[in-house]
Amino acid sequence: MDQEKVARLTRELLMEIGENPDREGLLKTPERVADSWAFLTSGYRSDLKTVINGAVFESEANNMILCRNIEVHSLCEHHMLPFFGSCTIGYIARHKVIGLSKLARIVDHFSRRLQIQERLTSQIARAVKDSVDAEGVGVIIEARHMCMTMRGVGKQHSSMTTSSVLGSFHADPSTRIEFLTLAGR
Ligand code: ZN
């Protein structure tokens, strides 16, 4: 990402919305916005293999492993406004498990870019399944969308819940029920 170019475009945007980019409070805003966008879209430039980086371990475990309330911050692709909430990931290992902190890194990898919540949910599920060759995976995201609460319909407290289930979580109703129960659903 060319940060100088993003700063120039931000300066133009400021003028276009009726601001004066040369007033004191806005002098450094274009550079700050460029920095911020570099971070918020860093998922485009991160490599999933590097993210997981060897944190997959051999294990005899074949029970369900669950990580709840992983924070999610992303940007909706329709309005480029934030949506944020929490993510729960569960999987059943076959021979391998993944470090817990890496689950959070996988969430960041896919959320730091323009997204829709449905795709984010299924991309995380697929990545977890592939990284450990899991028997099954379930992912639930509950999030609030600023494009809903700040503008348009102005629904202050609405949230959206999406889920994606793969493998045995999809095929076996009792596995899915165990996941939803552990997830507090
Ligand atoms: Zn939106």
Q: How many angstroms is it from 99 CA to the middle of ligand 1?
A: 32
Q: What pLDDT sits at residue 156? A: 73
Q: Could you tell me if 86 and 167 lie in one domain?
A: yes
Q: What pLDDT sits at residue 150? A: 85
Residue 165 CA to residue 169 CA, distance in Å, equals 5
Task: Give residue 169's identity as a one-letter amino acid code.
Answer: F
Considering the candidates 73, 79, 95, 170, report the single residue annotated as catalytic.
79
Domain annotation covers residue 176: yes
Q: How many angstroms is it from 77 CA to the middle of ligand 1?
A: 6
The pTM assigned to this predicted structure is: 0.94
Domain annotation covers residue 45: no
Q: Could you tell me if 7 and 95 lie in one domain?
A: no
- Indicate if 77 belongs to the active site: yes
Q: What pLDDT sits at residue 50? A: 92
Q: How many angstroms is it from 16 CA to the middle of ligand 1?
A: 22
> Looking at the 3D structure of the chain, how many domains does it have?
2
Residue ranges in the chain modelled with pLDDT below 50: none
Q: Could you tell me if 100 and 28 lie in one domain?
A: no
Q: Could you tell me if 96 and 167 lie in one domain?
A: yes
Note down the domain range covering 62: 50-182
Which residues share a beta bridge with 142? 86, 161
Nearest alpha-carbon partner for 83 in 156, 151, 144: 144
Considering the candidates 4, 12, 71, 77, report the single residue annotated as catalytic.
77
Q: What pLDDT sits at residue 185? A: 82
- Indicate if 145 belongs to the active site: yes
- Indicate if 147 belongs to the active site: yes
Q: Could you tell me if 91 and 10 lie in one domain?
A: no
Q: Could you tell me if 81 and 32 lie in one domain?
A: no
- Indicate if 78 belongs to the active site: yes
Q: What pLDDT sits at residue 63? A: 87
Q: Could you tell me if 9 and 99 lie in one domain?
A: no
Total residue count of the chain as it appears in this document = 185
- pLDDT, tens only, 100-133: 999 999 999 999 999 999 999 999 999 999 999 9
